[in-house]
Amino acid sequence: MRARTALRFASALVALQTMLVAGCSAAPPPARWSAGASPTAAPVWPLPLKVRLYDPYRLLRPEVRRVAEAEVIRAFGRAGAPVRFTPGDPEAIPATIYRELPSRWDVDPTAIGVAVGERGGRRSVFLSYGAAVRALGHGAGARVPRSRIGVAVGRVLAHELVHAIAPECPHTRTGLMAASLNRRLLTAPGIGFDPLASRYLRRAWTASVLAAGAFGTGPDQ
């Protein structure tokens, strides 16, 4: 995405509410890229961010799903933010993967994912399997190596989760919050959040933990 985009749309999936949508596209690559942009802060949050990954169309093989989830956990962990995938947990942020994002949503056709949410309201992430495959440089119907698509899906999910939980976080010049997640950002080893995105991420989570009165409960509570 060239710039963060606020689109207003109504969808049955989001209870026909008007929400902020932040899309992430596979459009032209950012001007700069750095593999070493992520901090290595130690985890400081007492609670993990809970995420549910829905795959209603069975697009992801189990091993691809595991790779995707591991990639999210790795990226958030490097930013000092623990994440846990909790299927069936009503408190978890739902992330649903589609073959293609519905055209009625009127998002950028190159968008790989969108984040939906309101402050204090329901947050959701939607991902496009087809757009991720195309961003990797593969044509429709191509056989994409499992680890490759798993890492790419995980990185797009990580990007959209930041939009969902820290909507004030801007796109960054480097790392996973780059405006455009090109093939290199989706495949190169060690890509993580840059220091700016990491700060927004920790700030947002700290605020949520304070609001829940959960400090002092220890890890993984």
Beta strand 111-117 with 20-25 is antiparallel
Helices 62-78 and 146-165 cross at an angle (nearest 10°) of 50
Whichever of 21 and 47 has its CB closer to Zn ion, that residue is: 21
Minimum CB–partner distance for residue 174 and Zn ion (Å): 14
Residues 96, 102, 106: CA angle, nearest 5 degrees:
120
| Residues in touch with Zn ion (CB under 5 A) | 24
Specify whether the CB–CB gap between 12 and 99 falls below 8 A.
no
Minimum CB–partner distance for residue 143 and Zn ion (Å): 28
State the virtual CA torsion across 41, 1, 125, 97 in degrees, nearest 10.
Answer: -110
Whichever of 5 and 208 has its CB closer to Zn ion, that residue is: 5
Determine which helix (DSSP H) or strand (DSSP E) holds 80, and give its type and residue range: none
Minimum CB–partner distance for residue 195 and Zn ion (Å): 17
Whichever of 24 and 72 has its CB closer to Zn ion, that residue is: 24
Minimum CB–partner distance for residue 7 and Zn ion (Å): 12
Whichever of 47 and 97 has its CB closer to Zn ion, that residue is: 97
